[in-house]
Amino acid sequence: MQPVDDLEKLKLLAASLLNASVEGIEQVSGGRNSQVYRVETSKSQRFALKFYFQHPSDSRDRLRTEFDSLSFLSSRGLTNVPRPFSYDRQENCAIYEWIEGVRIIPDQVTEPMVDMAASFAIRLAELRKESDGNAVANASEACFSGSALVSNIHGRLAKLAESENPNLKKALRDEILPEFDSIVTWSRARLGESFDEELPRQERTLSPSDFGFHNALRTAGGGIVFLDFEYFGWDDPVKLISDFLLHPAMGGALSVVRTEMVYDPAE
């Protein structure tokens, strides 16, 4: 995604969305899926202007998903997420609360920080009882059964298999795929018919899907604000935990979370 160079045009767009005079605008981040600008009004108020990338082959509506999910969470009293203000469908952008904070370095994650993330996840689980939560869609790549999870992983492995890297192809053929097949066989034997049964609605949870400290800011008061809800929706709570623990950017957090391996290929 190429950055937008016409800052004056962006100032006018932000002013229209905020219905306020904008004094300054500065790009603060830009990645494959979005660009974020810090906007400052004539009253010294700060906001975040976020542009969303939309690939022709991807039908997911990241703008609407994030804006609606943050509206839902903010209306339920959650203060550790950015408040949404307005959006422009044609420009594929939205205005959010500006969060003053610093990025969290993985190897500096502490147990209290993990506790705050766990408390946030618990609050999301509690919101499943809200009647208007039924209007929330499933999270991106949500999996509600063992077979759905296997299908999802097979899709990802198939993309890796398209690589021309001979070392990757060999690793897939000789190590990854055989081990994955063994895990699936073991899991099916342990779970039986329930492997294909979908998780009941009352046991699902709301999930950011891309949940972790890589999508969070630590504020001056020691709190944590969670960001990026482009893939938010209903999901299996086990998958939410896995998203948190196993994300490549979460290596530092694993040192303060104790986990056990339950898979034993010898069984």
Please determine whether the domains at 7-97 and 102-139+200-256 fall in the same fold group of CATH.
no
**Can you name the CATH fold of 102-139+200-256?**
Transferase(Phosphotransferase); domain 1 (1.10.510)
More reliable by pLDDT, 265 or 34 = 34
pLDDT of 260: 46
Domain ranges of the chain: 7-97, 102-139+200-256, 146-196
| Percentage of the chain exceeding pLDDT 90 | 68
**What is the mean pLDDT of the segment spanning 125-140?**
83
Question: What is the model's pTM?
Answer: 0.85
Q: Across residues 19-28, what is the average pLDDT?
A: 92
Is the pLDDT score of 234 beyond 90? yes
Class of domain 7-97 (CATH, top level): alpha beta
At 129 the pLDDT is 80
Per-position DSSP letters for 196-247, written without gaps between them:
GSPPPGGG-EEE-SS-SGGGEEE-TTS-EEE---TT-EEE-HHHHHHHHHH-
User: Which of these, 231, 244, 230, lies nearest to 116 by C-alpha position?
Assistant: 244
* The pLDDT of residue 132: 67
